[in-house]
Structure 1
Amino acid sequence: MPHLLTSALPYANGPLHLGHLAGAYLPADIYARYLRLMGKDVLWVCGSDEHGAAITLRAKKEGITPRDIIDKYHTLNKDSFAALGISFDYYHRTSTPLHHETSQEFFRTLDRKGGEFIIRNTEQFYDPEFKQFLADRYIKGTCPRCGFPDAYGDQCENCGSDLSPNELINPVSTLSGARPELRETKHWYFDLAKHEDFLRTWIQEGTVDGKQVHDPSRWKKHVIGQCMSWLNEGLQPRAITRDLDWGISVPHPEAEGKVLYVWFDAPIGYISSTRQWCLEHGRDWKDYWQNPETELVHFIGKDNIVFHCLIFPAMLRAHGDYVLPKNVPANQFLNFEGDKFSKSRGWGIELHEYVEEFKDFPNGEDALRWALIRNLPEQQDADFTWDGFTEYYDKDLADKLGNFLNRVTVLTHKFFGGKVPATAIWAESQVQVQLAESLGQMATHIEAFRFKDAATTFVELATFGNTYLQEAAPWSLAKTDPDDPRIATVMFDCLQIAAALALTAHPFVPLVSAKVRTVLKQEIVENGDWALARDQLAAGRALIETGHVIGKAGVLFPKIVDRKDDSLQQIIQRQRDKLTAALATRDAAATPESKEITADLPPTKPEITFDDFSKLDLRTATILTAEAIKKSNKLLHLTIDLGGGETRSVVSGIAKHFDPADLPGRAVVVVSNLAPRKMAGVPSEAMILMAEDGEGNLQFVSPPSDFGNGWTVR
C-alpha cells in the first residue's frame, strides 16, 4: 500500500519561521520517518509555490524580476529544511516546465469534460498607477456587512464574512492607496458549488458513491468544523484565472494573457513533484495518485483547510482519475513569546536565522525540533518561548535521556568491559513487557497524528529507564557480591531500553538518534527497523544481543542552565536581547509621536457631512460575557451592558486577538443603531469599535472603566 504524503507548498516570497515548521513540515517529517521505520512504501513531496500576484508585486517594488525572488527563497527555504532534518523525498518547484505541463493538462481535462468551468465577463479592479489588475487581497474597503473600515477584497477579518472586491464600500488599492478602476475582463471559474453534495458526504461520512474511503472519526474536529461552516454557508464558483504576466499560461484559445490562479496550480504541485520523483527513480507516478489503495495525507496549517479539504478534493473528483486524501491533520497556529510572528518588527526567529545562530549549540537542530514537538499546536494555538525551549532541552534530553544513556554505558564498561552481558531472564520480564507496550503506544499515537502524545510516551520510557536503574542499583549489588547475577540482568535490561530509545528517537530527533546508535555501535536506522523491533519484542528476543560491544556516551546533552558553563545560556540570552529590542520598537511605535510619522497609514476616506456622522449612535458599554463561537476561529460572541437595564448580543471578529476570559468587565464603545444581523448563526445587535495598527493588532476604543454605560460618544 503506497503512502503519499504532502506538505503545503511554502510561498517562495520570503523566509519561513518557526510557526511554519510546526504547522506543516515537522509533523509530516515525524510521520514519514515513522512509516519508513515500519517498512512502508512512502513518498513525501513538497516544493516551492512560485506563482501569484504577491511575487510580481514585490518584484515591481524592488525593481527585480520574479525569477530573482523565487530563486533566492526557494534555495533559502530548501536549505533550511535540510539543516533541520526535514526529510522530504522530493522538493520541487512550481516554476518548472513539468509543473506547467501538469497544471495545463489538468485544466484541459476539466475543460473537455464540460460543466466544470463557468466563463464570465466581469469588471475587475485595476490599479492605474501600478498598471496591474488587483488580486482580491490587494484591495481594501469598508465591509458592507458590519461596516469594518479595513476589510479585504476576499474577506472581512472583523465579522468573518466572505466578500468580493465589488462589494466593498470605497475600495482602495493597497499598493498605491489610490481608488482602483473597474475594467472589463474575462475569467474562468471552477463550479465548486456543483460538488457541494459530494463534499458534504465525503467530509461528514467518509463515503464516496456509497463506498467508505476514510474514517471521519480520525479527522480533527476543527478541520471538519471549518469545512462544515463553509458548506453550510453555501459554496460559490471560484475564479481560476488571473490577468498577470507571471504564472502558468491558461491553455485556451480565448485566454491570451491570462494565467492560472495560484490556488488552482499550487496543489497540483503535489502531483508534478510526484511525477518528477518518479521520473528520476524509474517509478510510475500513477501508482501513487491513481491507485485506490494509496493512503494520501495532506499536512497543512489551519489557514489551508478550505483549499485541501474542499477545493482540491473537488478538483480531483471533477478530474475523475485521482485518489482523495484519507486525512488532513491540519495544525493550528504557533505564536512566539505570546504574540504573532512579525518580520517587520523583528518578532520571532526565521529558520535560516536559527540554523546560523545555533550552529555552535550541541544538538541544536534537534533541540529546536524537540521544543516544537513538545508544544505542537495540534488542537489549539500554541506559544513558543525560550523558557520552554530551555526546559524541554534540559529536563527531557539532558536530565532524562542523556543521563540514562551516560549511566548505562559507564556501568556497562565498569562491570562488563563494554559488552552486553548474558542474562537468564528476558522474555515476559518487566522490561520486555514495558518496551513492547511503549513502542506500541508511540506507534498508535503517531498513526493517529498525536505527535505530542507520542513524544510524551518517549519521555516516559526514558523516565522508566532511569527509575529502573536507580531502584535496581547494580553498584550497590556489586559492593556486596561483584558476581551477583542480578547485575547482569539489570545492565542487560537497561541496554535494551537504551536500544529502544535510540530507535524510537528517530522520528522526533533524528540526529540525536544517530548519535545514540553510534554510541551503541549499531547501524544507523533503516526502513523497517521499528517493525523489526516490534516483532523481536513480541517474540521475546533482545534488541541488542549478548556479547555486543558498545561505546561510551559521555555528556550527550550539556545543560543550558549549568552552574559551571553559561555558554549555552549566552546563546539563548542573545535571543532574549533581540526580543527586548523588538518590544522597545513596538512600544515606541505605539506612541502618538511615532504614529504621526508612520509612512504606511491607511488613506483617509471621502469627506462626509455632519448629518452623515450624526446618524451613528455611539454609546459606552461594558462587556458582560465572552465566548468562542463554534465553527469559527475568528468570531467571539459577547453580551454587553448598554445601560438602563438593556443587554445585547454582539458578534465580533476578534477571536485571534483576545482571550474570551480576559474580556468580561472591559469598557467599550459600540455602534448601537446598526441593523441587527446573524453571523455564524448568532444574532449581532451592535458593533464594537476597534483601532488597528499597521501590523493588524487590535485595541478597544474604551472610555474609563467607571464612566458608566449607555452614554453618548460624540
Structure 2
Amino acid sequence: MNDQKGKSTNSIDEFDITNSRPKFPKRAIVTAGMPYGNKELHLGHIGGVFIHADTYARFLKDRIGKENVIFVSGTDCYGSPILEYYRKLVDGGSFDGTIDEFVTYNHKKQREVLDSYQIDISIFAASALGRAAEIHQKVSSDFINKLYSNGHLKKITTSQFYDTELDVFLNGRQVVGQCPIAGCSSERGYADECSLGHQYMPIDLINPKSTLSGKKPEMRDVTNWYFELDEFHDFLTQWVSQLEMDKSSRKFVIKSIGEFLEPPAIYVKRDQMEVVESIKDKLPEYDLSDEKNKSSVLLVFKNLSQREAACLILAENGIRFRTGKTLVPFRLTGNVSWGVPSPVLEDMKDLTIWVWPESLWAPISFTMTYLEQQKADSNAWKDWWCSKEAQVYQFIGEDNIYFYGPVEMAMFMGCQGKEVSADPPEGELQLPKLICNNHVLFLNKKASSSSEVKPPKADELLNHYTFEQLRAHFLSLGLGIKSVGFQPKPFNPNANEKDSDPVLKEGNLLANVFNRAVRSCFYTAQKYYDGKVPVAEVSSEILEESKKTIIEFERLMYKTDFHLVMSLMDSYIRNINKYWSKYIKQSEQDNDDALRTKVLVDSLHMVRTATVLMHPIAPKGTEMIREYLNLGEEFWNWERIFDTIYDFMEDPENHKLKFLEPRVDFFEKHPSQLQEKS
C-alpha cells in the first residue's frame, strides 16, 4: 500500500525481478497495414493485422502513457487495382458515382467496421480524401524530391503493356499472367508484380492478357523514375544483421528479407542446360549452382545488368527460365491517372506516383494530419519518426514484407543524404520495427473471395460473435509463427452440430471463467462486507505470483508473442477460480470470516492484475470491471502495476464498490450463443 498518497512502495522502478526486463520507447507510433479503397474490410485485415496492432497500441498506452502513443492507419485510395475495380462496377451498372465517391463510400464502411471491433485508432485517414490528402500530396512531393536531390533516383526506359485494340497503356491489374519468379505459388501475375508481392520486369510476365479487351498486349517503351534499391544492398545487409540480434524479430521475416539480398540469378530447367552450354560464350560471366535434387539449375551473376543481358540472350534462343529474387530498381512513377501527382523532375512531366511507394510514407502523412488536429507544431511529427527516443511499430501481412522491408528501409535511409547509415542519426527518419503476421486461413485454405466457400467479411463475423471473443481468438492463433486456419462453426459447412466452436475457446475464458471470478468477488463483498473491500494484507504468495505474471506478460508483449500472452492469461485467470474454489467453501462451512476475508482480498488482487493485463485485449469488459471497482484511470498505469487495489482508493476503509445486480456479465456472450444454449 501507499506510504504517501500517489506513491506506491511497489513502484515499477523499485521492483526488479530480473535485469533483463525489456525497455520501451518514450514515444511510439503504431501503424496497421492500409486496406485498399475498393472494398470493405475482410477477414485478413481484422484478424491478421488490426486486432494485433490495436492490442499492442493499447498495451503501450498503459505501459508508457496514452499521450505518448499514436496509432495511425487509413484507406489506400490510389492505384490501378482500385481504378480497375471501379471501372468494372461502373460498366456493370452497380455503381454510378465518381471514383472519389466510390473510395469515400468504402473508407466510411472500413471505419465503421473498425469501430465495431473497438479499434482505438488515433486517426483513420485516407490518402485521397480531405486534409490528409492535401498533406499526403506535399509529403509525397517532398519525399521524391529528397531522394532525387540525394542522388538515389534514375530514369529507366522499359517496355510497358499496351492494348492495341483500345489504344491505351495498361497498368497494374489491367494485365494478368503468370509470375516469372522461380518457385512462386501465386495464381496471378500482374504488370510488374504478382499477388504475393514479387517484383519483376513487365517483359518477363508469362502469358500476359489485357483485362480490358482480353487480347494479348504488345510492349511499348515508357520512361519512369526508379529508386536505386539495388545500391542499398550493403546497408540492408547491416540492417538485417541488427534484426538477427533482436530477440523480438520474427525469424520468417528475416528469412524472407534475406531472400531479396541474394545475388542476381536465373533458374533454368535441367533439360534446357544443353542449349545453355551451346551459347555459353554469348552469356555474361556467371557461376553455376547445381543441386542434383532440384529440377532447375541456377545461373548466378555478379550484377543486375549482367543478369538482364543474359535474360535477353536466353529468350532469343528459346530457353525457358525464371529469375530469382534479388534487389532491383524500384519504380516510383507511372502513368495511372488515379494517383498522387509526381513532382516535375527534369523533363519528366504528367507522371503520377505509383501507389506502393506513396503508401509506405502515408503513415507519416497521417501522423502529420493527426498532430495538426491536435494543434501541434508543424515539425512535431519528427519527434515521433526521427527521434532515437521514439519507435515506429508497423503491423503488416506477410505478402507485404518486400515493400515494408527492403524497399521502405532503403528509401528511409536514402532520405539521409549521400552519406547513408543503417543506424540513422538523430533527426533523420528512424527505421520502423516490422511486426509481420502470416496468413489467416479460412477453413485451412487461403482466404479468397473467388473460393468455392467464401470467407466471411469482418462485419459478418459480428453476427455470431462478440468483438471481444474475436479479438481474443485471433490473438491466440500464433500468426507470428505460421499461417493458421480460422474455423468458425457457423461458416463451416462441414462442421458437426455436436462439435464445439473452435472460435469460442478464448471467448469462454472471458465469458465463463473470468466472469465467474469477478462476479464471485463482487457478490461476496456485497453479501458480507456491505459492498466494500475488507482492508487486509494480500498474501505474499499471491503478490509474488502476480508479479511474476506481470513480468512475463511484459516480456511476451515486447516480443509480440500474442498467442503466448493468451496462454499465460488463460492459466492465470483459471488459477483465480481454482484458488477461490479451494478456500471459499471451507470458509462457508466453518463460517470462518478471517479465511473468507483472506480469500476475497487475495482473489481481488488477482482480478486486479488480470484486469489490467487483459485491458488491451478485452477493453470493454475490463473497463466495466474498473467502473464497478469505482476506481479512476490510474488503475491502468503501469508505473503502478504492482500496486494493490487499496493504493487506488482515497479511503480504503470506506471505499464502496458499485452495486452489481444479479446475472450482470462483464464479458458478454453473443445473443446467438444464448439462443443456441436455450
- TM-score by length of structure 2 reads 0.75
Shift of 1:543: 6.2
CA displacement at 1:339 relative to structure 2: 2.3
Q: CA deviation at 1:12?
A: 1.1
Summarize the alignment of residues 85-484 of structure 1 with structure 2, pairs less than 5 Å apart.
85-95=118-128, 96-114=133-151, 116-129=152-165, 131-141=167-177, 151-154=189-192, 163-205=200-242, 215-233=245-263, 234-252=326-344, 254-283=347-376, 284-320=380-416, 322-344=428-450, 345=452, 347-355=454-462, 357-358=463-464, 364-386=466-488, 387-394=501-508, 396-423=509-536, 425-426=537-538, 429-473=540-584, 475-482=585-592, 484=593
Find the aligned partners of 2:53 and 2:236 in 1 and give their Cα distance: 25
Which of 628, 633, 655 is the equivalent residue of 1:548? 655
CA distance in 2, matches of 1:460, 1:242: 54
Q: CA deviation at 1:141?
A: 3.9
Picking from 47, 51, 56, the partner of 1:31 is: 56
- Tell me the CA shift for residue 162 of structure 1: 5.0
Counterpart Cα distance in 1 of 2:183 and 2:30: 42
Q: Distance in 2 between matches of 1:67 and 1:476?
A: 68
Looking at structure 2, the residues matched to 257 and 77 of structure 1 have their Cα atoms a distance apart, in angstroms, of 32
Amino acid in structure 1 at the alignment position of 2:486: F
Is the contact made by 2:159 and 2:202 (CA closer than 8 Å) also made in structure 1?
A: no
Secondary structure of the residue aligned to 2:480 is coil
Matched residue of 1:295: which SS? Answer: strand
Change (3 A) 1:232 1:244: same
SS of the residue 2:247 aligns to = helix
Taking a change above 3 Å as real, the CA distance of residues 25 and 196 of structure 1, as seen in their structure-2 partners, is: same
Residues 306-362 of structure 1, C-alpha deviations (whole Å, 9 max, x = no match): 11111011111111163333521101010122222233456222123334x25xx6x
- Counterpart residue identity of residue 268, structure 1: W
* Partner secondary structure for residue 51 of structure 1: coil
Deviation, structure 1 residue 125: 0.5
Tell which has more relative contact order, 1 or 2 (C-alpha 8 A, sep 6+).
2
Give 1:469 deviation, angstroms: 0.7
Instruction: Name the amino acid aligned to 1:389.
Output: V
The one-letter amino acid paired with 1:455 is M
SS at 1:183 equivalent: strand
Q: Is the 8 A contact 2:386 2:430 kept in 1?
A: no
1:292 deviation in Å?
Answer: 2.5
Alpha-carbon contact 2:158-2:223 (below 8 Å) kept: yes
Which ranges of structure 1 fall in alignment gaps of 5 or more residues?
Answer: 207-213, 574-714
Per-residue deviation, 1:13: 1.2
Post-superposition offset of 1:58 = 1.8
Instruction: Give per-residue Cα distances to partners, 1:46-94, cap 9 Å, x unaligned.
Output: 1111111011112222224321221011111112112211111122211
Q: Which whole-Å deviations, capped at 9, do the CAs of 1:609-648 have from their partners, x for residues lacking one?
A: xxxxxxxxxxxxxxxxxxxxxxxxxxxxxxxxxxxxxxxx
Shift of the 143–9 alpha-carbon distance from structure 1 to 2, 3 Å rule, reads: closer
Q: How much has 1:490 moved relative to structure 2?
A: 1.2
CA offset digits 1:129-184 (Å, max 9, x no partner): 555422345433466677999654445789x9753221235422234321113222
Mark the CA change 1:177 to 1:291 in structure 2 (over 3 Å): closer, same or farther: same
Cα 1:557/1:376, change in 2 over 3 Å:
farther
2:138 and 2:229 map into 1 onto residues whose CA distance is 23
Q: Do the aligned residues in 2 keep the contact of 1:22 with 1:377 (CA within 8 Å)?
A: no
Q: 2 CA distance for matches of 1:572 and 1:343?
A: 32
Aligned to 1:72: 105
* Pairwise CA distance, 1:572: 11
Q: Among the aligned pairs, what percent are the same residue? A: 25
Judging changes above 3 Å, is the alpha-carbon distance between structure 1 residues 171 and 74 closer, same or farther for their aligned structure 2 residues? same
| Alpha carbons 1:332, 1:379 under 8 Å: kept | yes
Note the alpha carbon deviations across 1:535-571, whole angstroms, 9 max, x for none: x25xx9756645432232634178869xxxx942668
Alignment of 1:493-532 (within 5 A): 493-523=602-632, 525=633, 529-532=637-640
Residue 571 and residue 117 in structure 1: after superposition, are their counterparts in 2 closer, same or farther (change >3 A)?
A: farther
Q: Which piece of structure 1 moves more, 398-407 or 265-274? A: 398-407
1: CA distance, partners of 2:476 / 2:198: 35
Residues 527 and 392 of structure 1, relative CA distance in 2, 3 Å threshold: closer
User: 2:677 & 2:215 partners in 1: Cα distance?
Assistant: 45
CA RMSD of aligned residues (A): 2.8
User: Does 2:80 align with 1:53?
Assistant: yes
CA–CA distance in structure 1, aligned partners of residues 523 and 108 of structure 2: 44
Look up the equivalent residue of 1:83 and give its one-letter code: S
Check 1:527–1:45 CA distance in 2 against 1; reply closer, same or farther (3 A cut): farther
Counterpart code for 1:377:
L
Moved more, 85-94 or 170-179: 170-179
Instruction: Give the drift of 1:527.
Output: 8.7
Are the aligned partners of 2:33 and 2:396 in contact in 1 as well (CA < 8 Å)?
A: yes
Compute the displacement of 1:531 (Å): 2.5
Q: 1:217 to 1:557 in 2, by over 3 A?
A: closer
Q: Deviations over 1:638-666 (max 9, x none)?
A: xxxxxxxxxxxxxxxxxxxxxxxxxxxxx
Which moves more between the two structures, 135-144 or 41-50? 135-144
Contact 1:371 1:393 in 2 (8 A): yes
> C-alpha offsets along residues 365-418 of structure 1, whole Å, 9 cap, x if unaligned?
212111212224121001112221223322x11331011112222222222122
- 1:5 partner SS: strand
Secondary structure at the residue paired with 1:3?
Answer: strand
